[in-house]
Structure 1
């Protein structure tokens, strides 16, 4: 694409200058249309839309000239038609299916040897597991996770302490109320005695 741009861009700039228009704005826009993967007809329609803003007549001639120049400047591999997507997908699937491995057929002798080896390994692994269990003491007996129990005990202790404090506060409040009541009664009695004494 770089070679196409190098050859085509100067030509397009000269072309747009000859049409007395801003080659900087319209040049990049026209290049973008040509580099898109649209069909030739769609590119022609888009170019006609742009050039109708620039020139009033011979629009089709200018469009064909731009398309022809673009086709000449394009590298040869870009001129070839893109392959059908379905064909490419089919080839890809074929190549993947070839990669699958075929299952090997064993002779009777090979099957016997294979079974003997597998049974020997399974016995070894069973024996090894038994030995490990015998050698290793039960880890659960040694270390017990007491985090949950500790947290629960601490929470219970806090609740109990809070309950006791609330009970103490209740009793103290009751005592204070009784004291205040007694003080009120005492003051009331004093007032009565003072009134009686004044009357005398």
Structure 2
């Protein structure tokens, strides 16, 4: 024994963690219930090892001026945060839709509010459905955070840089992860 758990055991543990996290039951995101977020983040990191590294990468990018800090008060952030996040997610979905006909379905979780959003082809276009309970079977799971998605939507950060800086982490079947990573690398950049 090399000290590593077999892949199947890890997959079962991740599935159990997702069930424990609330996939399949209604759980509030941090925009609705900020008190529940710490527990959800811990379970998220259990299901997707090193997912919390994204939080550190976001903090470092904010310190270096790559990402903006949200200066709004907690109450204002809770009141307006979901709408701002949903708008940014829609913008990213539109960008991913351009020139990516074989994009695999994926579910993105913004680790700050633990808001799950599913991206999938619907009616010939990639659509973002926020506030889903968690990833669908076979989805690539993308862990990022609100400041990253907003910066990408505004054209201040491209997918290539976000991946390189650890602001986005991908989990899932390797071929599907590679396809999504390639699509993400083509997104973002300065907007006119």
Fold similarity call, TM over 0.5 = no
How does the TM-score come out when normalised to structure 1?
A: 0.22
Which structure has greater strand proportion?
2
Larger radius of gyration: 1
Which structure has greater helix proportion?
1
How does the TM-score come out when normalised to structure 2?
A: 0.23
